[in-house]
Amino acid sequence: MKPQVLQLNPILIPAINDELASLYQVHKFFEIADQPAWLREHGASISAVITGGHTGISRGMLEQMPNVKVVAVNGVGTDAVDLAYCRSRHLPVTATLGALTEDVADLAIGLLIAACRNLCAGDRFVRDGLWELNPQPSAIPLARRFSGMRVGIVGMGRVGRAVAVRAAAFGCPIRYTDLRAMDDVPHEFVPALLDLAAASDALVLCAAADKAEGIINAAVLDALGPRGFLVNVARGRLVNEADLTQALADGRIAGAGLDVFVDEPRVPQALRNTDRTTLQAHRASATWETRHAMGQMVLDSVAQALAGERPAMSLTT
């Protein structure tokens, strides 16, 4: 009999689903009508769990699966998993670390360029027929040059470093803040976030910072200033959205490029209504290449755990 795998989130890559189905008996939890009853009846038979970063898995669910050997997160966020409990059970929790780096960094730069150059507003201006009605050059406000901007990076991990490489290629001076200075990073370390914002034309949030909340507040936005831009490809809750909304409305910052939000998929109407924002639906890793790589890492983690090995991507064992 094939090992039993409980899948809490869909995987969008057909080849990965085919591979899972060929190796395991996959139970798609998201398609089960009476989930509590099913778990009570079948939980003891589950050998592996596949979940997403947002969904994670509760301790209560894990307690009903005494024989599970791995929780494979198809993403990098693990704050929805009780890692301490998993450690107490010597249960590997894996994540797809590294697979998302290039795409997330690409989107960070894309959001920043789009925000600086008013790409989305310009697109709407043409699509809505307004260019024909207003052909004069002054009909669209002048934009801001990205090349040479002073870029401040919050979180110099994998994504932060990849953003720095890309921004440096545009001639941007780079500064960063993190829990400590990095010896292998050639850029200037600024210990205080407020000081980094004051020294930046654009502030790019790349920190995982699972426990941080609202660190980008009115004071930081005021330090960034009326010609400054904010980009967030990290965690929505790093930003105080009420403070950001007010700063945009008052013109206290120039604009924002946001891929993540505090209460997804609910995005504040004020952020949707202004041309000062460029918005995405938490899509930084949403390419075929990255999603396939993530799926393969999930497959590898499950296979390693069920073979009695420590999964290479384990964060808990």
Positions marked catalytic: 235, 264, 282
Rounded to 5°, the CA angle 153-156-157 comes to 135
- Which of 9, 19, 18 minimizes the C-alpha distance to 50? 9
CA-CA distance, 280 to 112, in Å (whole number)? 12
CA-CA distance, 317 to 89, in Å (whole number)? 10
Question: Which residues, in sequence order, are CB contacts of 209 under 8 Å at separation 6+?
Answer: 155, 215, 234, 235, 238
DSSP state of 87: H
Question: Which residues, in sequence order, are CB contacts of 316 under 8 Å at separation 6+?
Answer: 83, 86, 87, 91, 92, 93
CA-CA distance, 157 to 108, in Å (whole number)? 14
Query: Could you give the count of Cα atoms lying within 13 Å of 85 in the half-sphere of its Cβ?
Result: 15
Question: Which residues, in sequence order, are CB contacts of 219 under 8 Å at separation 6+?
Answer: 194
